[in-house]
């Protein structure tokens, strides 16, 4: 029997069983990660090799260096994940990998590795959309969470409000019309001379600042549930410039706090509006920006005040990790979605959503 046919047979057998131990690989940007996940919900072991120290030397992610670092990290991470799980490759039912979106070279390292590993083990290969992975981090963290729910997905490249209709099924409610929220945090951090990685460090600095010290314009969008961050980003650059030209010092903590307040208010306001209008009973956060301390506090508070259940992954799996990929892969596998060995990296892969 040829490879493809054999893999579909194996995937069907797994589906009938309804259980799967999945080894997942994530390499879309600057974190290499391997995790072993049971039934889409239980993280058995998860390993991450961060490249922050290397890219910090350049003030941002250098794609070529990211790809090389992934290649070096994948084998040892896989060995460690198996060892920590007390498992051998025989215990793995399928291999999952982030196919996109992300940096093409970085994605290719993970995709190539996963294809080779799946072929060597003679196990099905499951391609995963990175954004779906972020949403699925909530399934790892909260065993009781089931669709439907409304989810704010905010990362370095994306800012969406999606309605999760079912596993792997989404309706687009709103999206950014320009920059992503994480990108805005990173650019503001650069203007404030905060080193890479800007977003998390700006968040930390903001914790001790006065969020009313500087005022930022409230973003306006045509779409009721859309976002816009480019005006806020330009304001940071202009404000810091003007103060410098007048020979005035700005208080970085206050600046960070005021900017963070403006971004978070915008994110929460639109999400709560969408929740109200769609009649959602549950809201969730996902993506790197979900690690933002103020966003977490505000969402919890405002959702609570409206009687909504509010879920968010622990900070450790808000930013890129492989546990979330293993979770998303389980539901795709249960839907019979596996890849052939000609799977390619898809840097602009979109999450299929109704309403787009
Ligand atoms: O999801 P992620 O790890 O990678 C992408 O898929 O893009 O998100 C990274 C983004 C970066 O822009 C980073 O600055 C932002 O998430 N981020 C934060 C925080 N932690 C990560 N932004 C604000 N506050 C944080 N604590
Ligand atoms: Zn991400």
Does residue 313 have its Cβ closer than 6 Å to ligand 1?
Answer: no
Under the banding of pLDDT at 50, 70 and 90, the label for residue 249 is confident
Under the banding of pLDDT at 50, 70 and 90, the label for residue 178 is very high
Does residue 159 have its Cβ closer than 6 Å to ligand 1?
Answer: no
Neighbours of ion ligand 2 (CB under 5 A): 155, 320
Does residue 32 have its Cβ closer than 6 Å to ligand 1?
Answer: no
The tokens of 176 are what? Answer: 């950014």
Query: Percent of the chain scored above 70 by pLDDT?
Result: 100
Distance from residue 207's CA to the centre of ligand 2 (Å): 24
Does residue 197 have its Cβ closer than 6 Å to ligand 1?
Answer: yes
Look at residues 115, 113, 111 and name the one whose alpha carbon lies nearest to residue 98.
Answer: 111
The tokens of 149 are what? Answer: 């729910």
Ligand 1 atom with the shortest distance to the CA of 293:
26
| Cα separations in angstroms, 129 against 97, 173, 339 | 9, 19, 13
pTM of the model: 0.97
Tens digit of pLDDT for each residue in 311-351? 999 999 999 999 999 999 999 999 999 999 999 999 999 99
Ligand 1 atom with the shortest distance to the CA of 186:
14
Identify whether the C-beta of residue 31 lies closer than 8 Å to the C-beta of residue 317: no
Does residue 156 have its Cβ closer than 6 Å to ligand 1?
Answer: yes
Under the banding of pLDDT at 50, 70 and 90, the label for residue 193 is very high
**Which residue lies with its CA nearest to atom 2 of ligand 1?**
288
Q: What element of type H or E holds 106?
A: helix 104-121
| Cα separations in angstroms, 24 against 99, 112, 335, 340 | 11, 13, 17, 16
Q: How many residues are present in the chain?
A: 356
Distance from residue 228's CA to the centre of ligand 1 (Å): 17
């Amino acid at each position: 029997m040829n490879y493809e046919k054999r893999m579909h047979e194996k995937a069907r057998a797994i589906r009938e069983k309804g259980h799967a131990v999945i080894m997942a690989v994530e390499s879309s940007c600057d974190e290499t990660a391997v995790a072993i996940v049971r039934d889409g919900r239980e993280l058995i072991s998860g390993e991450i090799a961060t490249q922050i120290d290397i890219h910090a030397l350049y003030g941002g992610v250098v794609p070529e260096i990211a790809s090389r670092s992934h290649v070096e990290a994948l084998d040892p991470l896989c060995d460690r994940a198996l060892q920590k799980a007390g498992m051998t490759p025989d215990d793995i039912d399928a291999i999952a990998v982030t196919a996109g979106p992300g940096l093409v070279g970085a994605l290719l390292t993970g995709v190539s590795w996963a294809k080779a590993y799946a072929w060597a083990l003679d196990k099905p290969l499951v391609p995963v959309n990175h954004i779906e992975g972020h949403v699925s981090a909530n399934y790892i963290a909260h065993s009781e969470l089931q669709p439907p729910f409304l989810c704010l997905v905010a990362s370095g490249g994306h800012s969406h409000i999606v309605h999760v209709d079912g596993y792997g099924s989404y309706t687009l409610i709103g999206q950014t019309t320009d920059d992503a929220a994480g990108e805005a945090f990173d650019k503001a951090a650069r203007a404030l001379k905060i080193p890479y990685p800007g977003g998390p460090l700006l968040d930390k600095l903001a914790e001790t600042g006065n969020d009313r010290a500087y005022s930022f314009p409230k973003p306006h969008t045509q779409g009721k549930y859309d976002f816009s961050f480019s005006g806020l980003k330009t304001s940071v650059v202009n404000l810091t410039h003007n103060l410098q030209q007048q020979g005035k010092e700005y208080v970085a903590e206050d600046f960070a706090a005021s900017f963070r307040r403006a971004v978070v208010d915008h994110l929460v306001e639109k999400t709560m509006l969408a929740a109200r209008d769609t009649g959602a009973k549950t809201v969730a956060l996902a993506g790197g920006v979900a690690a933002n301390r103020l966003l977490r506090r505000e969402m919890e508070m405002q959702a609570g005040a409206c009687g909504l259940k509010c879920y968010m992954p622990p900070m450790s799996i808000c930013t890129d990790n492989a546990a979330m990929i293993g979770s998303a892969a389980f539901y795709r596998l249960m839907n019979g979605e596996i890849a052939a060995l000609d799977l390619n990296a898809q840097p602009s892969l979109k999450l299929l959503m109704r309403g787009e």
